[in-house]
Structure 1
């Protein structure tokens, strides 16, 4: 896929799904960089470009380790080469353009217009490499009246309508799980966009740019919210743990003060639940989803009363025997102890040369023929400067020293 592979290191990439792909990650924090993480997990050569001396802000985001970089950095910058480059300086732009000529993809998430101001917008770069694919993630996208406004994941959750749905009906909007959800989801949409653009390039021979707003990544996930409002004027409010069109589909407390998630997404599933409860007459009384939704409080109370009389283990055993989807609501402690996570190798145990033993979330999805490969955790600032600028661009040791002294690297 890449423009040139003459100087490309192929260590560990022979059987990688994306082993012939070179990506320049000039983005910051999580959103666009997470796209790079996904690509790197499957073998792409991802070169992380950071500001000299200070680096990406992600290095200081979250729990700081003994090496000075955060756990988030070590996890989400894994498998990436790290170089420094000041894109605000003319010589930095010149070097970047040389890298672009040798690459397939650029990932960025600056405010719209920033790269154009530096002379490295998409229109500038495609003149150098017409096959270039550029992912552009920003708070509100490259167009529209809010395009120049800043934003982070929390702002995206609010603007997309997700935060309004999170929380109890009589309480304030709350954080929908992770404050970085929109960032990670945008990185996933970004990876889809990049791979789609690369597939199109095989036919057209031309690259393109992908324009993605953080809020769009979240809004696209909100099931029937838009069509329900457009057709019926429905404005969904907060429902706590409940779900708008299905009952019982919520969280319930057990006799030993644990919590379980229960999902009865169909009439058939509710019938199974009533059999597990030993109360099959409930299915005859409330055989359809519409009837159960209409009597939400009553149905929920019946289920909560039954679950609340049993300890967690009994609830889970009975539900599993009856084929009813149910799970203990886990903390990270339970995740580390669970045999399913162990069997699926979802927790990646590594020994990092800078901080020692670490456990990271393993890459997903699992591919049968070209699985993800872990090479290393997030590296130190500028660790691959000599390899990339010397090996790929052919700069001498003297030139590297000169660039460094001038603050370009």
Structure 2
């Protein structure tokens, strides 16, 4: 296994927010890129206000538990899981881009970088005077990635919103309800945020490869909504060819026999799938339910009798504990697994055996287990170093070592409050 990571020596300027953009730059950091986040101390680039208190989060339900010991401390922007899950390996530098000094610093950083990624609303960079044409003028070898939800042109390009809004526009929300219920019955869906990171990382890798051949960078316009539409393409084709809208299937499937079933354990569920006749024979052999085998001898029968079959499976599952169900079905070769909650995942023996959770420490949050990488390679070990950058933690490294600004100028900006290690907003 070689020591050098594939993106060693590549520098990424990360001007992203929320999930989609930061998730993609995390994958680039995993591959060895130096990812630097410029953050203004007058903004909440980490989704959390500096003014959050323990009393305020007590009334916020689930999100109140996303701080260690449910305590935001005096630096909540360093402690929230909303940020730390995608912060590994990254560096943080304070740059207020609404000031001339901040914009100059960003352009200096762009001159010595390879990739620039942003997922702000259309027009934000233009208002700041750092649109992609300006960045490419400063550094023609730069790869600029912009992640507008609905593209940079067209009648919807200036729409503002959040993941669930745009999922509605591309049709996902219409399919998202439980079987036989209304579309909003299954809660919010953030698939656009989940689908973007992998596509973003792949696009950057492809652009870097192209740059090796051409010597030029350029603009990648990555429309997040269009990326999601590609992932549900079969439903668009079904409508075009068959004039058929997708139904709301919940945890079932239009082709396979599949569902999620309650067990005898309190609020613990299992997912079971039958892919083919072999799976069906194995399932009926384990369940031994009267009349079950006759209901689905072939795929068309299982589709026609899906509700009745699933009712019999549900009755069997309700009488058994999770481990009994999973062990017996997996032993027979039937795809089955527990639907894991967060605490169950932390205790999962399979993930423990693979060493997926990695223990890391940081002064802002203490020592905890962090999620590992989504894939592995035989050729190199993916990077998983510092779990997060404290706000402004890398100010001196960026300004003094990388940008080579004089100490006197750096100290002046510190004295004026333009470079700091604390978020104010």
Could you state the TM-score of these two structures normalised by the residue count of structure 1? Answer: 0.89
Q: 2:217 aligns with which of 207, 217, 223?
A: 207
Whether the 8 Å CA contact 2:362–2:388 is kept in 1: the answer is: no
- Once residues 312 and 68 of structure 1 are traced to their aligned partners in structure 2, the CA distance between those partners, rounded to angstroms, is 38
- Once residues 44 and 207 of structure 1 are traced to their aligned partners in structure 2, the CA distance between those partners, rounded to angstroms, is 17
Note closer, same or farther for the CA distance 1:84–1:222 as it changes in structure 2 (3 Å cut).
same
Q: Deviations over 1:106-160 (max 9, x none)?
A: 0101222221232222211112211111111122121221111112112122222
Give the count of matched residue pairs.
396
Q: 2:263 aligns with which of 234, 240, 254?
A: 254
- Once residues 290 and 34 of structure 2 are traced to their aligned partners in structure 1, the CA distance between those partners, rounded to angstroms, is 58
Q: State the secondary structure of the residue aligned to 1:209.
A: strand
Q: 2:322 aligns with which of 312, 317, 325?
A: 312
Question: Partner of 2:76 in structure 1?
Answer: 68
Q: Does 1:227 align with 2:237?
A: yes
Question: Partner of 1:32 in structure 2?
Answer: 21
- Once residues 290 and 307 of structure 2 are traced to their aligned partners in structure 1, the CA distance between those partners, rounded to angstroms, is 19
Question: Partner of 1:343 in structure 2?
Answer: 353
Note closer, same or farther for the CA distance 1:295–1:55 as it changes in structure 2 (3 Å cut).
closer
Question: Partner of 1:91 in structure 2?
Answer: 101
Give the superposed CA RMSD: 2.4
- Once residues 245 and 342 of structure 2 are traced to their aligned partners in structure 1, the CA distance between those partners, rounded to angstroms, is 34
Question: Partner of 1:116 in structure 2?
Answer: 126
Q: Deviations over 1:204-251 (max 9, x none)?
A: 22112222233233322225211111100111121222112222x001
Question: Partner of 1:44 in structure 2?
Answer: 33
Q: State the secondary structure of the residue aligned to 1:76.
A: coil
- Once residues 166 and 186 of structure 2 are traced to their aligned partners in structure 1, the CA distance between those partners, rounded to angstroms, is 11
C-alpha displacement of 1:175: 7.7
> Gaps (5+ residues) in structure 2?
53-62, 420-425
Question: Partner of 1:10 in structure 2?
Answer: none
> Gaps (5+ residues) in structure 1?
1-12
- Once residues 297 and 273 of structure 1 are traced to their aligned partners in structure 2, the CA distance between those partners, rounded to angstroms, is 16
- Once residues 184 and 210 of structure 1 are traced to their aligned partners in structure 2, the CA distance between those partners, rounded to angstroms, is 19
Q: 1:303 aligns with which of 289, 308, 313?
A: 313
- Once residues 371 and 59 of structure 1 are traced to their aligned partners in structure 2, the CA distance between those partners, rounded to angstroms, is 32
Note closer, same or farther for the CA distance 1:285–1:239 as it changes in structure 2 (3 Å cut).
closer
- Once residues 263 and 3 of structure 2 are traced to their aligned partners in structure 1, the CA distance between those partners, rounded to angstroms, is 51
Question: Partner of 2:55 in structure 1?
Answer: none
Q: 2:367 aligns with which of 341, 349, 357?
A: 357
Whether the 8 Å CA contact 1:99–1:393 is kept in 2: the answer is: yes
Q: Deviations over 1:331-351 (max 9, x none)?
A: 112111111010122222222
- Once residues 173 and 377 of structure 1 are traced to their aligned partners in structure 2, the CA distance between those partners, rounded to angstroms, is 38
Answer with 162-171 or 220-229: which moved more: 162-171
Answer with 364-373 or 23-32: which moved more: 364-373
- Once residues 89 and 256 of structure 1 are traced to their aligned partners in structure 2, the CA distance between those partners, rounded to angstroms, is 58
Q: State the secondary structure of the residue aligned to 2:47.
A: helix
